[in-house]
Amino acid sequence: MDGESRTFGELLRSPSAEIPLALALAALALVLGRLLYGVLFHVPLAPTADEGALAHVWQLLMAGQLMALVFFAVKWLPRVPRQAAGVLAVEAGAVLAAMAPVYFLHL
C-alpha cells in the first residue's frame, strides 16, 4: 500500500507512530508507578542529591521519543500531511501526559 492512501488509523498503527507512543506511555507508567509505590509504602517524594535511576530512565525515554517523533514527521508529513498531523497531535498529548506529573509534582 502506498503512503498516499493511508488513513489516520492505519498511520497510527504504523511502527513509526507506535514506537514514540509506546515510549511516552512507558515514561508515564514509570512516573505513575513511582507515585503509586510512594503511596502504598509511605515513601516520601523528598528530593535527593542524585536524581536516581528512575529519573534517568525517564529522561532517556523522553529523548528517544523525540528522535522517533522527528523520524515520523520526516517520513509521513510530506506524504499524508493531514493524517500525520493528527497522529502528531496524539503523540503531543502523550508527551504532555508523561511530563505533567513531573512538572506539577516537582519530581
- pLDDT tens readout for residues 39-71: 888 887 766 677 888 899 999 999 999 999 999
With contact defined as beta carbons under 8 Å apart, do 20 and 65 qualify?
yes
Please indicate, yes or no, whether the overall pTM of this predicted structure exceeds 0.95: no
Per-residue pLDDT band at 3 (split at 50, 70, 90) = very low
User: Would you say residue 11 has pLDDT above 90?
Assistant: yes
Average pLDDT over the chain, rounded to an integer: 90
Percent of the chain past pLDDT 90, that is, above it, reads: 68
With contact defined as beta carbons under 8 Å apart, do 19 and 68 qualify?
yes
With contact defined as beta carbons under 8 Å apart, do 91 and 18 qualify?
no
